[in-house]
Structure 1
Amino acid sequence: MNDLSTPASSCVDCRQPSRADFRTRWFWGGASLLLGTTVLSLALGRYAVPLAELLQFLGAWLGLGDFPHERYALLHSLVVEVRLPRVLAAILVGAGLSVSGAAYQAVFRNPLVSPGLLGVLSGCAFGAALGMVLGLGGAWIPLLGGVTGLLAVAVGVGIAGLFRNSSILILVLGGIVSNALFNALLSVVKYLADPLDQLPSIVYWMLGSLSAVDSAVLAWTAPLLALAILAMCLLGRAIDALSLSDEEALSLGVPVRRLRYGIIALATLISALTVSIAGMVGWVGLLIPHLARLLVGPANARLVPMSACLGGLFLLVADDLARTLTRGEIPLGILTELLGAIAFVLVLNRVRRGWL
């Protein structure tokens, strides 16, 4: 006898997918697309590698198969030593800028905030330019840029601290002062630089590029950047608390001041590390969190990981275009600004009645 009285809601097989299910699918779909694009990026370049041959080589490199000995050395040099560091750098830089931008937008409760708000980017630019003028080389230039980037944010936060006020407005004003100060210092360094040698290097660095990714720099920045991105992803629920008003967060027992400065410090570290790897790359930290928000909603527990995934994918595609569109290489920052401006207009059109 059929039981026709069974409620429809108890039929698990007939259950419609929830919105959370779709958001989870978006994340795993983005992660799968990132993985596929990573493999494709290893095949692209001035010396193209057939995809089937690349997959066979990667299997042999991982110890999962055999590969012709006469081609192994060539592909190892091309894929592992040249392209793989660049691909990993593109993914980490894109993910880092996106995660940092998402965190800043949540902390300052403003969707138009980018990672450079408190001066980290202008500070990094000043430090790198100073290193070039002083004749430093190797890992010293990105290291000095990262240190001065952190210093710039410390100056902005310190200025806000003079008012004994941890409000968002005071922090923003401190960031404006810090940005102005380090932009002025950068102008002084550019004025003093040799116009035939040092100044072109400074200008090119500020356009952003992964063409000269230093393996020595990547060896210490990549693990630190990956850990910082992972930490920010795990702090998604804590970041949600900062999206509330200070009074609401305090009533829930959230240590607002300590948490806010902790998130800012972590986001600043991530931004400084990305600049030390790729130079100045714009729009990623502003655009990608909006796109992720359209797909998975405003909850930072989902938004931050999705931003990391989409940011890595976006910058990887931009870098592929930068090194394949022309015989020479287009600076990465030019492409991200061009693609970012177009995409941002489309995103604004989608959300003009929503989160904004």
Structure 2
Amino acid sequence: MKQSNRNTIIVLSLGIFLIIAIVVSFQIGRYNIPIKDLLGVFMSKIYPLHQFWPDKMETVLLNIRLPRIILACLVGCCLSAAGAAYQGVFQNPMAAPDILGASAGAAFGAALAILHYGSSIMITFSAFGFSLLTVVLVYFISKKAGGKSILGLILSGIMVSSLFSAGTSFIKLVADPNDQLPAITYWLMGSLAGAKNSDIKFVIIPMVIGLIPLILLRWRMNVITMGDEEARTMGVNSNRVRLIVIVCASLITAASVSVSGTIGWVGLVIPHLARKLVGNNYKHLMPATMLFGAIFLLIVDNVSRNLFTTEIPLGILTAFIGAPFFIYLITRKGELC
């Protein structure tokens, strides 16, 4: 079987597995929902059916589990896609969605909103706005720095991230230890608890705007991974493509972090796992990474809300999974090259 056909089958299989994972996710939880009732609730939104399920079940399904499952898939998809995109344009296997400070900026914005007793939508909006502001600052600082653009971006990202992290630490220092500080700390650990349909409406547009170009630019991303000289000989403007990819990846990262909090390792680990399945060609790598990321975060979120009576923040679980995996990678010769 040709490698291309094999990769296509793998991508389709990941899509089928994601659908299965979504159906299972709807059923499991503190309130068990049988498959018959699950199908009945959703079919009733299309065709008029006699209601044979309790009202409480429909409320749990549509107002609690549906937005949480959708957000888990969207956030996992976007963080993974951003990680794969950054690793390609920066030609760095250690690149992650927070490499340009998007997560640090979002954390500062959320903490600032919590300090001023902002509502949940204000916290989300503030996190999103400061996340984008951070990336813009990084870009303009790197342009002023001169030298190699990639190295300048990475170094500027490290410096600006440190600045916003210090700001977040100061906010935690002056926050009310009985009310605001626990809220800030919990947000920083990442969670999808309390996900609402309004969160989906807030992030779906920037996520779609960011994901579509990343999918359409897959061939050009393959070219710029070979280096700027090679890209120039093939008629590809590497600087323009790199800027578009960075803008789109930063947009979906900001949208994701604004509703989920800080969730590490997803954008770093999942692209490497996808490469093991379909190789380095972005034609298959990008869709495989997006599907794999959605599956991964959905499963992790299911574990988070069902393992114990108290939910485990997603950032803790992804670190427990991601860190050992990367230890395995760096101890194997050539795995990160």
Normalised TM-score (structure 2):
0.95
How big is each residue's C-alpha offset from its partner over 1:145-201, in whole Å with a ceiling of 9 and x where there is no partner? 111111111111111111334521111111111111111111121112111111110
| Of 34-43 and 154-163, the range deviating more from structure 2 | 154-163
| Of 24-33 and 151-160, the range deviating more from structure 2 | 151-160
| Counterpart pick for 2:265 among 279, 283, 286 | 283
For 2:42, the equivalent position in structure 1 comes to: 58
| Counterpart pick for 2:244 among 243, 248, 262 | 262
| Counterpart pick for 1:236 among 218, 223, 228 | 218
**Are the equivalent residues in 2 in contact too, given 1:160–1:166 (CA < 8 A)?**
no
Residue 296 in 1 paired to residue 296 in 2?
no
Letter in 1 for 2:88: A
Letter in 2 for 1:176: I
**Are the equivalent residues in 2 in contact too, given 1:207–1:281 (CA < 8 A)?**
yes
For 2:140, the equivalent position in structure 1 comes to: 158
For 2:10, the equivalent position in structure 1 comes to: 26
SS of the counterpart of 2:169? helix
Q: Which has the larger radius of gyration?
A: 1
SS of the counterpart of 1:135? coil
Shift of 1:334: 0.9
Shift of 1:224: 2.9
Residue 102 in 1 paired to residue 64 in 2?
no
For 1:314, the equivalent position in structure 2 comes to: 296
For 1:353, the equivalent position in structure 2 comes to: 334
SS of the counterpart of 2:120? coil
**Are the equivalent residues in 2 in contact too, given 1:124–1:148 (CA < 8 A)?**
yes
Residue 204 in 1 paired to residue 182 in 2?
no
For 2:25, the equivalent position in structure 1 comes to: 41
**Are the equivalent residues in 1 in contact too, given 2:128–2:255 (CA < 8 A)?**
yes
Letter in 2 for 1:105: Q
Q: Any unmatched runs of 5+ in structure 1?
A: 1-16
SS of the counterpart of 1:109? coil
Aligned length: 337
Identity of aligned residues (%): 36
What's the Cα RMSD here?
1.8
**Are the equivalent residues in 2 in contact too, given 1:291–1:347 (CA < 8 A)?**
no
Q: Structure 1 residues 303, 148: closer, same or farther in 2, change over 3 A? A: same
How big is each residue's C-alpha offset from its partner over 1:293-347, in whole Å with a ceiling of 9 and x where there is no partner? 0111101121111100000000000000000001111111111111222343455
Normalised TM-score (structure 1):
0.90
**Are the equivalent residues in 2 in contact too, given 1:89–1:222 (CA < 8 A)?**
no
Shift of 1:137: 0.9
Letter in 2 for 1:298: N
SS of the counterpart of 1:69? coil
SS of the counterpart of 2:53? helix
**Are the equivalent residues in 2 in contact too, given 1:99–1:304 (CA < 8 A)?**
yes
For 2:131, the equivalent position in structure 1 comes to: 149
Query: 1:92, 1:57 → 2: CA distance?
Result: 23
Query: 1:140, 1:315 → 2: CA distance?
Result: 25
SS of the counterpart of 1:117? coil
Q: Structure 1 residues 270, 82: closer, same or farther in 2, change over 3 A? A: same
For 1:6, the equivalent position in structure 2 comes to: none
**Are the equivalent residues in 2 in contact too, given 1:95–1:229 (CA < 8 A)?**
no
For 1:340, the equivalent position in structure 2 comes to: 322
| Of 224-233 and 29-38, the range deviating more from structure 2 | 224-233
Residue 193 in 1 paired to residue 175 in 2?
yes
Q: Structure 1 residues 130, 83: closer, same or farther in 2, change over 3 A? A: same
Query: 2:307, 2:246 → 1: CA distance?
Result: 37
**Are the equivalent residues in 2 in contact too, given 1:166–1:257 (CA < 8 A)?**
no
| Counterpart pick for 2:228 among 241, 246, 249 | 246
Shift of 1:355: 5.3
Letter in 2 for 1:48: N
